[in-house]
Amino acid sequence: MNKTLLIIQREYLVRVKKRSFLIVTLLTPLLITALYAVPALLFFASDEAKTIQILDESNTFRGKLKNDEDYIFTFIKGSLETAKQKLRNSDATALVLIPKDIVEKPGGLQIFAEKTVSMGLQRRIENVVQSEVRNQRLANAGIDVKVVEDNRVNVDAQTYSLNEEGEKSSNSGVATGIGYAIALILYMSVFLSGSQVMNGVIEEKSNRIIEIVISSVKPMQLLLGKIIGVGLVGLTQFMLWILLTALISSAVTGLLKNKLEEKVRKEVSVSASPEQAKQVQAQLQAQNPMAKVNEALANLPLGKLLLCFIFYYITGFLLYSSLFAAVGSAVENPSEAQQLLFPVTIPLILSIILMTYVINEPDSKVAFWASIIPFTAPVDMMARLPFGVETWELLLSMSLMIVGFLSTTWLAARIYRVGILMYGKKATLRELSKWVFYKA
């Protein structure tokens, strides 16, 4: 047992002390936070308002295009050629021509600019013109536009989850994002950590160091020491990621809150009346990209997700890394490992393929079996958990995971004890099956 602990200590310290470990540990939380913080900050970013000149030949759009903090619309008169010339000599961003027959021929709308017109400006003008053309056509047909507008509704469903603890607000989008993120992180960690175990075994075997080590340590002790040591490195890194991400996210959330309050003050200050000011404030609060996310995260069982993540990381890592170690012991260089590695990685790749279906249909039979079978459970059960999983299903999956990694570790140890001392012979799957039954 002491020898196994020494091997664990050696494998752990060698990897933790590497500069690459420190760099990845510090950079990953920053990148994770940037995935949601950058789009949110862009939402609040405010540039100088752009001036847009409007040449309205139909004389129906004055007052329809409202100024805001992004665009200032100025109506001009004269010919199109004169307007183009004025555009070149002015600070205006674009010139919009609204022809006389815009109601009969909506395709006649034209936008001129020295540079390519931005998609946001184009859509803004198109939407306003389209709405006004529709209103005029309805009026020409004898339909009361006010009645149509009063009956225009937007349906925004609020979702709730019902359980023993009561009724809680839920968000399928956030649950989907969390499911994808956790499952992909687990997949990458298991695959990369397992590869580290395999490459370590191959390196020691090719350098003949293994022959010296095996003279004083049993193969099973060496195998467990390597697997547990590398596993602890990955677990340490993930715990640091969670802590650093939480700290950075807290600071970014405070910044976004201040940005939202600043944007609200700007919009409210230009509002024409107190009633409009309240509407603007409510609209901006609803548009806050972090509000619904924070509310949904608060209602998710984050503690349960963290504990399950640790469990499935440990058991999934032990299951696959033992097989990776067995493959490493059977070859002498990484290129030879590819053929034997393919059958081992198929279930792991299958779990990623099934993940999309599992998230879309978390209560289906496919999702159930994908989260129960040990080879796919680490990824697919974590993908299901944000949507809610019955306790008995979770316990069954965990029990089978324990049985699964114990079985694969035993199988890998039988191959490992023979393979680490085999040289000059390319192992096949048939050969590996024979090694399992060799007597010690």
The 10s digit of each residue's pLDDT in 3-15 is: 788 888 888 888 8
Q: Provide the pLDDT for residue 396.
A: 94
Is residue 288's pLDDT more than 60? no
- Of residues 229, 363, 243, the one with CA closest to residue 306: 243
In the predicted model, what is the mean pLDDT of the chain? 76
- Percent of the chain whose predicted confidence (pLDDT) is above 70: 74
**Model confidence over 189-238: pLDDT tens digits?**
777 777 878 877 777 777 766 666 666 777 777 777 888 888 888 888 87
H or E stretch covering 102: none
Q: Provide the pLDDT for residue 399.
A: 94
DSSP class of residue 385 equals G
Bridge-based pairing state of the strands 94-98 and 50-56: parallel
Report the amino acid identity of residue 298.
A
Q: Please, which residues have CB within 8 angstroms of residue 400's CB and are 6 or more apart in sequence?
A: 372, 373, 374, 377
Mean local confidence (pLDDT), 115-126? 78
**Model confidence over 56-110: pLDDT tens digits?**
887 777 777 777 767 788 888 888 888 888 787 787 888 888 888 777 777 778 8
Report the amino acid identity of residue 119.
M
**pLDDT confidence band for 285 (50 / 70 / 90):** low
DSSP class of residue 386 equals G
- 172: exposed, middle or buried (C-beta count within 10 Å: 0-12, 13-18, 19+)? middle
∠ at Cα 63 (136, 266), nearest 5°? 130
**Domain 50-148 CATH superfamily:** Periplasmic binding protein-like II (3.40.190.10)
**pLDDT confidence band for 272 (50 / 70 / 90):** very low
Two structure tokens written together for 369: 């079996």
Phi, psi (rounded to 5 degrees) for 74: -120, 130
Higher pLDDT, 279 or 198: 198
**pLDDT confidence band for 46 (50 / 70 / 90):** low
d(CA 155, CA 37): 28
Domain edges within the chain: 2-39+170-436, 50-148
**Model confidence over 390-435: pLDDT tens digits?**
889 999 999 999 998 888 888 887 777 777 766 666 666 677 777 7
DSSP class of residue 106 equals G
